[in-house]
Amino acid sequence: MEKLIEAMKQGKVFLIGEFRGAKTDVIRYVDKKTGQASAFTATNYLVERPGALEVAMISQQVGDGTVDPTTIKVTAQKGKVYAFELSGMERVRGVFKARMPQGAEPLPI
């Protein structure tokens, strides 16, 4: 909790909600004309915030370039409440989507 208050004093923005699950995937882009390709690994956190946002989808890029998703361990436990640091947010087709900075971890409340 002290960690969270300290971070909030520094001006960081957090979303507090119930952690429902997370999944890490590799996202790939290919230019079919030139064959150029790019890939990165991202973890998607599903967070519930009943009454306020209902469901929020928070994505976080993992490492630089591609990282094997099986090596990524998410320490958060399903059903517990955490504070998720946000670096950006938007509402797309009614779904609240946000980004978590690289390296940040959900802080238990």
Partner 1 sequence: MNKSKAAFLFSAQRLGTQGLYMWTFTFAEVLSIRDTRKRWNHLLTLLRRRWPGLCGLRVFELHDRHGLHVHLVTNRFIDVNEARKLSKIAGWGRIHVMRVAVEKAAYLAKYLSKDREPCLKGWRLWAGFGEWDWSRVKDIIFETPRSVIYQACKAFYCWKGNSDFRSRMELVEKIFRRVIEEG
Q: Please, which residue, 4 or 72, has the CB nearer to partner 1?
A: 72
CA angle 96, 100, 20 (to 5 degrees): 60
Q: Please, which residue, 43 or 85, has the CB nearer to partner 1?
A: 43
**In the complex, which residues of this chain contact partner 1 (CB under 8 A)?**
20-23, 25, 27-34, 36, 38, 40, 44, 46, 55, 57, 90, 93, 95
Q: At its nearest, how many Å lie between partner 1 and the CB of residue 1?
A: 27
State which amino acid sits at residue 25.
Answer: D
Q: Please, which residue, 44 or 53, has the CB nearer to partner 1?
A: 44
Dist. CA 69–CA 25, nearest whole Å: 6
How close are the terminal C-alpha atoms of the chain, in Å? 6
Q: At its nearest, how many Å lie between partner 1 and the CB of residue 56?
A: 11
Residue (of 55, 93, 35, 47) closest to 74 by Cα position? 47
Q: At its nearest, how many Å lie between partner 1 and the CB of residue 79?
A: 11
